[in-house]
Amino acid sequence: MTVVACPTCGKKVEWTPANKYRPFCSERCKQIDLGAWAEEKYTIPGATPNEAQDDPLSDEK
């Protein structure tokens, strides 16, 4: 049996088909995570691309 930590609260959760909230431990933790995504609290750090990279026609002469 695989056991994982709930991404929201850290509680140990069995990863089984019987656990309909996996990888979360409960509906509450699942909703908290969804709310965080909706509020854009999760981001991937990175550099802002240059405008020239965004415009594929800028290299044409």
- Whether 16 is covered by a domain: the verdict is yes
- Whether 12 is covered by a domain: the verdict is yes
> Which residue is listed with tokens 């933790």?
29
**Whether this model's pTM surpasses 0.85:** no
List pLDDT tens digits, range 28-41.
999 999 999 999 89
Which residues make up each annotated binding site for Zn(2+)? Answer: 6, 9, 25, 29
Q: How many domains does the chain have?
A: 1
Kindly report the number of other CB atoms within 10 A of residue 24's CB atom: 22
Which residues make up each annotated binding site? Answer: 6, 9, 25, 29
Domain that holds residue 29: 3-38
- Give φ, ψ of 5 to 5 degrees: -90, 135
Bigger pLDDT: 21 vs 50? 21
Q: State residue 45's pLDDT score.
A: 82
Q: What is the CATH number of the domain that holds 15?
A: 3.30.50.10
- Whether 23 is covered by a domain: the verdict is yes
> Which residue is listed with tokens 């240059």?
50
- Whether 14 is covered by a domain: the verdict is yes
**C-beta separation of 35 from 29 below 8 A:** no
| The pair of three-digit structure tokens given for residue 48, joined into one six-digit string | 């802002």
